[in-house]
Amino acid sequence: MGAMDEPADRYALVKYLATHCALGIAVGWALAATMVLTGVANLRALIAGADEPLVAVGMLAGAFAVTFGSLAMGTAVMMLGRERS
């Protein structure tokens, strides 16, 4: 009996990583929104003064999504071998 005999667990790792990635993206977007709304590093004024503010927001959101999504997935992979106590 191999791993292919259990269809319920077939995509368990993919679901595990996708869940962590989605949570990381959500945290990244929340942090980016907080930074823009509070005016950290004058981001609000920079975005408002840009010729294409939607492009600036999209690039910021994309950068935070990639960074925090991959950070969360990397952390999830590193935690795979640990036993829960």
Contact partners, residue 41, CB within 8 Å, separation at least 6: 35
Is 67 a member of any domain? yes
Total domains in the chain come to 1
Tally Cβ neighbours within 10 Å of residue 80.
Answer: 9
Is 38 a member of any domain? yes
pLDDT recorded at residue 9 = 80
- Assign 10 a pLDDT band (cuts: 50, 70, 90): confident
Domain range for 20 is 13-77
Cα 13 from chain centroid?
Answer: 17
**Cα(52)–Cα(47) distance, integer angstroms:** 8
- Assign 76 a pLDDT band (cuts: 50, 70, 90): very high
Is 54 a member of any domain? yes
Beta strands in 1-85 (DSSP E): none
Least reliable range by pLDDT among 15-24, 60-69, 73-82: 73-82
pLDDT recorded at residue 1 = 47
Is 85 a member of any domain? no
What is the pTM (predicted TM-score) of this model?
0.83
**Cα(34)–Cα(48) distance, integer angstroms:** 16
